[in-house]
Amino acid sequence: MARIALITGGTRGIGAAIARSLKASGCNAAAVYHGNAEKAEAFRRETGIPVFQWDVADFAACAAGLKSAEQYLGGPVEILVNNAGITRDALLHKMTPQQWSEVIATDLTSCFNMCRLSIGAMRERGFGRIINIASINGQKGQFGQTNYSAAKAGVLGFTKALALESAAKGITVNAVAPGYVATDMVAAVPREALARIEAQIPVGRLGQAGEIARLVQFLAADESGFITGATFSINGGQYMI
């Protein structure tokens, strides 16, 4: 039977590449988006991957959305990729409480929401794969991103704690920390700032979404059951720990 996979933020950028790649590996995959229905519909038409709209920052919306997605997919989610994320950059001395809260809610609390709602069924079945998309900036910090760096560093701690709680139940929980990848999120970075970032990447270029997806597909496989609680850096050599 095809494994059921759900990818949040799976209609654009890195998430879309992950959804395509999990489908190509034989999964019954679905993608969640938030506001960009036009992009989501185009993605659905092109790939045949069903899309669902809800806000991953909202627990009640996640509960209702997950219920309808699982009904459509024909069973509980076995592979959960917490990929949805946003940035609201500002220096801390200018950051608004709203910029702080939106990023913490969308990038970190979303992992709680989605895992809390999916893990019961995974524990009952004795199988699960959870992959949380963190960031290089949660590992090293980034100017103008106290909110984002805090959220993504939080994802790393969350991943390890949940991995410990879940290991005996056949559920692996890992984090993938990408460096700079050519997506809409990075297109929002001013040109000069992006040139400075590119100059710091030893590989000499931005990453491609498909390169992140390849790693996620590996971690999602049944055969990857001995890998848990790990953080995988995939950043072109920009930050080595």
Could you tell me the smallest distance in angstroms from the CB atom of residue 6 to ligand NDP?
Answer: 11
Of 9 and 128, which has the nearer Cβ to ligand NDP?
9
Which candidate in 33, 72, 148, 180 is catalytic? Answer: 148
Q: Residue 239 corresponds to which tokens in the numbers above?
A: 């930050």
> Quick one: angle between helices 59-73 and 110-125, nearest 10?
40
Is residue 150 within 8 Å of residue 109, measured between CB atoms? no
Is residue 136 within 8 Å of residue 233, measured between CB atoms? yes
Of 63 and 126, which has the nearer Cβ to ligand NDP?
63
Q: State which amino acid sits at residue 203.
A: V
How many Å apart are CA 231 and CA 7, to the nearest integer?
Answer: 18
Of 14 and 49, which has the nearer Cβ to ligand NDP?
14
How many Å apart are CA 239 and CA 241, to the nearest integer?
Answer: 7
CA 29 → CA 6, 42, 79, 119, 172, distances in Å?
6, 16, 9, 18, 18
How many Å apart are CA 216 and CA 10, to the nearest integer?
Answer: 13
Could you tell me the smallest distance in angstroms from the CB atom of residue 121 to ligand NDP?
Answer: 21
Of 8 and 159, which has the nearer Cβ to ligand NDP?
8
Could you tell me the smallest distance in angstroms from the CB atom of residue 1 to ligand NDP?
Answer: 27
Catalytic residue list contains 33: no
Could you tell me the smallest distance in angstroms from the CB atom of residue 9 to ligand NDP?
Answer: 2
Task: List residues near ligand NDP by CB under 6 A.
Answer: 8-9, 11-15, 32-36, 39, 55-57, 83-86, 106, 133, 135, 178, 180-181, 183-186
Residue 189 φ/ψ, nearest 5 degrees? -75, 135
Could you tell me the smallest distance in angstroms from the CB atom of residue 2 to ligand NDP?
Answer: 23
Neighbour count for residue 53 (Cβ, 10 Å): 14
Of 142 and 169, which has the nearer Cβ to ligand NDP?
142
Length of the chain: 241
In whole angstroms, how large is the CA radius of gyration of the chain?
17
Where in the sequence numbering do the catalytic residues fall?
Answer: 148
